[in-house]
Amino acid sequence: MGIIGNNNSAKINDVQYVEGLKHNLLSISQLCDSGFEVIFKPSICEIKQSSSGKIIFTGSRHKNLYILFLDELPTESCFMSIDKDKWIWHRGVDLVRGLPKLSYDKDNICEVCIKGKHVKSSFHPINIISTNKPLELLHIDLFGQIQTASLSGKRYGFVIVDDFSRFTWVLFLKNKNDSFEAFKTFCKKVQNEKNSSIISVRSDHGGEFENSSFKSFFEENGISHNFSCPRTPQQNGVVERKNRTLQEMARTMLNESNVEKYFWDTYCYILNRVTIRSF
Closest CA to 188 of 197, 180, 201: 197
Rounded distance, CA 99 to CA 81, Å? Answer: 9
pLDDT at 189: 92
CA 108, 112, 113, 117 torsion-angle sign: positive
User: Is a pLDDT exceeding 90 seen at residue 264?
Assistant: no
Could you tell me which residues are beta bridge partners of residue 263?
none
pLDDT score of 277:
42
Query: Given pLDDT bands bounded at 50, 70 and 90, which one contains residue 262?
Result: low
CB 125 within 8 A of CB 225: no
Banded pLDDT at 278 (limits 50, 70, 90): very low
Domains of the chain: 2-95 (no CATH), 137-278 (3.30.420.10)
Report residue 81 CA to chain centroid gap: 33
Q: What digits encode the pLDDT tens for the residues 236-261?
A: 888 888 888 887 877 777 777 776 65
198: pLDDT strictly greater than 90: yes
Q: What is the mean pLDDT of residues 64-89?
A: 60
Using a cut of 0.75, tell me whether the model's pTM lies above it.
Answer: no
Residue 209, φ and ψ in degrees, nearest 5: -110, -35
Confidence of residue 60 (pLDDT cuts 50, 70, 90): confident
In degrees, rounded to 5, the angle at the alpha carbon of residue 188 between the alpha carbons of residues 199 and 198 is 5
Strand order in the sheet with 55-62: 36-40, 44-49, 55-62, 65-67
Of 116 and 60, which is predicted with more confidence?
60
**Measured between alpha carbons, how far is 209 from 215 in angstroms, rounded to an integer?**
9
